[in-house]
Amino acid sequence: MLYQSTRGNSPQASFSEILLGGLASDGGLYLPIEYPQITAVQLNSWRQLSYADLAFEIIQLYCDDIPANDLKGLIKKTYTSAVYCNGRSADRADDITPIHWLGLEGEQSRLGLLSLSNGPTLAFKDMAMQLLGNLFEYTLAKAKQDLNILGATSGDTGSAAEYAMRSKKGIRVFMLSPRGKMSAFQSAQMYSLQDANIFNLAVEGVFDDCQDMVKAVSNDLSFKAANRIGTVNSINWGRVMAQVIYYFKGYLLATQSSSEKISFTVPSGNFGNICAGHIARMMGLPIDQLVLATNENDVLDEFFKSGIYRTRKSSETLHTSSPSMDISKASNFERFIFDLLGKDGKRTAALFKQVETEGGFDLSKDPAFQRISEFGFRSGSSSHQNRLETIRDIDRRYGVMIDTHTADGVKVAREFLKPHSTMLVLETALPIKFGATIQEALGRPADCPTAFEGIERLPQRVVNMPVDVKKIQDFIEEHI
């Protein structure tokens, strides 16, 4: 399988060649030249497979330059119930991503949560990041190289990356986070890690300061090359690929035969998670509706409703109670536009140049946008008030506590329930990560999985940093 850039102006590359990189040289994102097609017969034959075996079947279609036995070993090591046992369905940890059925709503529609937050950091980002950790370690060892991952986080990404890379050979993580701006639980998750290859840098500033410094270091090409700096941001193809698997698993758990169709609702920020759903659908998975849910930062909802993509300046991004979706420019969106335009790299390049110069583009009159319903997308948004009401309602009606991002999903999913159908909402995090809003909604603290009780009291390992690129660079050089 070869990969091409969405801007059509980079050489094609293999899986291993793009695994450790970010953008293609022309500024585009990598996608496979074609999506492997899965027949109904093949899909049925996967019904009995464990999550790891299913993952192997799907990943080997995309990755043909790692020997099959090695790949299988890495996947088995990643998707084991010992790693995904922290969620509410711990008794079904063997499924890795079990469905938690809520009940029947509307006209006999089944509404369920696809539990993706059972991993070490209690958010869905573990699903892909854990695999990346194992793939990176393997690939680096083969090439006799090492890698220094530099990232900025406002919470979920940083902790998922650290827990995936901790104690991995050949890898160090330097993670910038805004000091005092994350929830106590999220800070404790990251800062309590004692692994020698993990460096937490608490910046005296906001998340944008952290992100700007990462960009500045990445643009310093000689520093980057001399210190083997890499990233694990959400444009990484391996992350998208790993997320395709749970759409298949969710489908197989929810259906009896492969003639059934089901719908998914996805709380979205950078369009990574739902992009994987789009790819699963392009591979032939019988998905009816793919519903995109945003919070008040509704750039993507606006696009799917109107055809107009209008990014916001980062200073205009609203700080909401579903903070992992506070995004004004969705980094994976280009992958979908490329497919929507019939894989026209030239046009995709022109449109995303226009995003840089004019802040967006307008496809409302374009024939491609007229056909967008063929891709199954629907969209909606929600507010803080909606979140509070949804968290309360799901708690009262079903006795289930959901987090703020999942609540955005449930709110929007309910607007698209068809009679006698099945809708799965992707559970993107557990409520304990966003405890303040749970307290506000329910008047009681969020449930804490036993393994995490008292995490806020563990000793922390973190270094304070001013907003100063040179100081960050010095720190990296001193610690590699």
Nearer to ligand PLP, 6 or 265 (CB): 265
Nearer to ligand PLP, 10 or 243 (CB): 243
Residue 269 Cβ, how far from ligand PLP at the closest point, in Å? 3
Count of residues that interact with ligand PLP, criterion CB under 6 A: 16
CB-facing half-sphere around the CA of 90: CA atoms within 13 A: 11
Neighbours of 205 (CB within 10 A): 18
Write each residue from 239 to 268 as x if it is in contact with ligand PLP (CB under 6 A), else as -, in one continuous string.
----------------------------xx
Residue 64 Cβ, how far from ligand PLP at the closest point, in Å? 26
Nearer to ligand PLP, 55 or 127 (CB): 127
428 near ligand PLP, judged by CB under 6 A = yes
CA–chain centroid gap for 187, Å, is 20
Residue 125 Cβ, how far from ligand PLP at the closest point, in Å? 5
Give CA–CA dist 319/393, Å, rounded. 24
Write each residue from 106 to 125 as x if it is in contact with ligand PLP (CB under 6 A), else as -, in one continuous string.
-----------------x-x
Tokens 């827990």 found at = 163
99-105 vs 377-381, strand pairing mode: unpaired
270 near ligand PLP, judged by CB under 6 A = yes
Neighbours of 78 (CB within 10 A): 26
Q: Which DSSP state fits 322?
A: S
Burial of 400 (0-12, 13-18, 19+ CB in 10 A): buried
Nearer to ligand PLP, 270 or 382 (CB): 270
234 near ligand PLP, judged by CB under 6 A = yes
Alpha helices in 255-383 (DSSP H): 272-282, 299-306, 333-340, 345-358, 367-370
- Please confirm, yes or no, whether 125 is among the known catalytic residues: yes
Give CA–CA dist 42/268, Å, rounded. 30
405 near ligand PLP, judged by CB under 6 A = yes
What is the residue-wise DSSP string for 11-38? --B-HHHHHT--S-TTS--EEESSPPP-
Residue 326 Cβ, how far from ligand PLP at the closest point, in Å? 10
Nearer to ligand PLP, 168 or 405 (CB): 405
Q: Which of 72, 77, 125, 418 is catalytic?
A: 125
Residue 123 Cβ, how far from ligand PLP at the closest point, in Å? 5
Residues that bind ligand PLP (CB under 6 A): 123, 125, 156, 234, 267-273, 324-325, 405, 428-429
Active site residues: 125
